[in-house]
A and B are shown apart, each in its own frame.
Chain A
Amino acid sequence: MQESQAVETFLKEKTPEAFSSVVDEHVGMLRNFVYRIVLNEHDTDDIVQEAFITAYNKADSFKGKSKFSTWLCRIACNRSLTMIRNGSKTVVTDGEDCPEMRDACSSNTPDKPMINRETQSRVMTAVSALPEHLRAAITLVAIDEKDPAEAAYILGCNKATLYWRIHKARKILGEELGDLI
């Protein structure tokens, strides 16, 4: 697996100094990934923090069978699903009190397509209502466009289960958002 310079250095030296660059390099990606599962900024940061510390402490168990970033996502995903199952709530919003939805209506740049507030709100509600393991599967495959084998590894399940979860998520979202599709 081709790793970045920061990851290569950390895996060789395994020092806090080397890990600091790994955090810089992955914090944005990991926050986005976790946020889509837990839909809550505070929980996201707690999980990302724990994931980095776990990755540092268990660096010896990383065998390079996947990319380091994939392994980090797996740790974070596992923690996210556990946190949700243990009772930490995810934000289910109708969009009215959600700043990102208000902003979405006014921003219309090439990389931020115009999507009306009502649509954003409906998608948010539908995605929030999905069971967490289905939400994690569909966002990994439909948004991140992860390869099924990699997505299955991150979720800690086999490919058959991944396909099933994606199918189930699509079915539920299809029922909720049918007129938009």
Chain B
Amino acid sequence: MKNNNLNNILKDWDKNLKPRFKDASSLKNNVMSQIRAGSNFIPSSNIYFFVKKIYVYNLAAAAALFLVICGVLLLNLKTSKPGQATPDQLALVSTGDMSDIKKISGEVSKLFNDKVQWIIKSGDKMEIKPSEMTDAAAASPKILVRQTVFRKTDKGWEKVYVADIITSPDQQVVFKNDKNDGYLWTHQAGDNIIALEGQMKIKVNGETINLNYSGGQPEQTPVMLKNIKNSNSEYIVYQTVDRI
């Protein structure tokens, strides 16, 4: 409703804009004279031989590139282990995970009479923030934000930290604990996209990872938020969002 009102206000504003443009014919004359003076379009037929030459070079380059890629792929096939999951696969929220999260969210909500602002679950630790919201707002559908940190090891990527943040849309989550410090805000934007804004510090293995992001993210699609490399370690952070 509010969006419609704002749209109407913007439409009225637009209808009442009366920019004082010069005569359109003078703009058109400028465009046409510049086109005629030097920016003439080259008909495709005139550049046929030039294009053909480029095409032959490109074809040769593409063939060479194809051979190099095949070589690299073959090497990778020999070195990579079968069945090894990639971080984006590991960052997915499985059906089993989602069922557990729903159970936790449901039980906690029942315990606090549907007045829960957010829940953070990391490993066997769980934090709950009771809410001051009205019943309707607190009982609105929840959003899950999963943040997963991976560390590179000799064996591949190892999951070193997972936090599941269960929150209500349009509510700012402010948290401060020994592992996580910052805020997160979510909004259900439509078309299976969740808008997020967040700023946080995650402490893992003595490293502090700073995250600062805003944007839309499709549901159930892990997105890499950060990649940190230093002299002796490499970390990546993935985020997955879903509706509960």
Contact = CB atoms under 8 A, between A and B. Distances in A.
Contacts of A158: 216
The CB with the most chain B CB atoms within 10 A, among A27, A45, A160, is that of A160
Interface of B: 2-3, 5-7, 9-22, 24, 27-28, 30-32, 34-36, 39-41, 43-44, 187, 189-191, 193, 195, 214-218
A28 B24 contact: yes
Given A100-B16, A163-B216, A181 B5 contact: yes
A80 interface: no
Contacts of A56: 31, 35, 39, 41
A142 B10 CA distance: 7
A138 to B, nearest CB: 7
Contacts of A20: 28, 32
B9 A100 contact: no
B16 A24 contact: no
Given A113-B15, A142-B7, A170-B6, A48 B27 contact: yes
Interface string A35-55: 110000100110011001100
B27 A148 contact: no
B35 to A, nearest CB: 5
B8 to A, nearest CB: 9
Contacts, number: 143
Interface stretch (A69-77, A82-90, A119-127): A119-127
Interface in A152-168: 158-164, 167-168
Given A35-B17, A53-B31, A100-B19, A14 B12 contact: no
The CB with the most chain A CB atoms within 10 A, among B36, B191, B193, B218, is that of B193
Interface in A125-181: 127, 138-139, 142-143, 148, 158-164, 167-168, 170, 173-174, 177, 180-181
Contact of B39 (A14, A53, A120): A53
Given A111-B15, A115-B16, A160 B216 contact: yes
Given A163-B191, A174-B6, A181-B2, A36 B20 contact: no
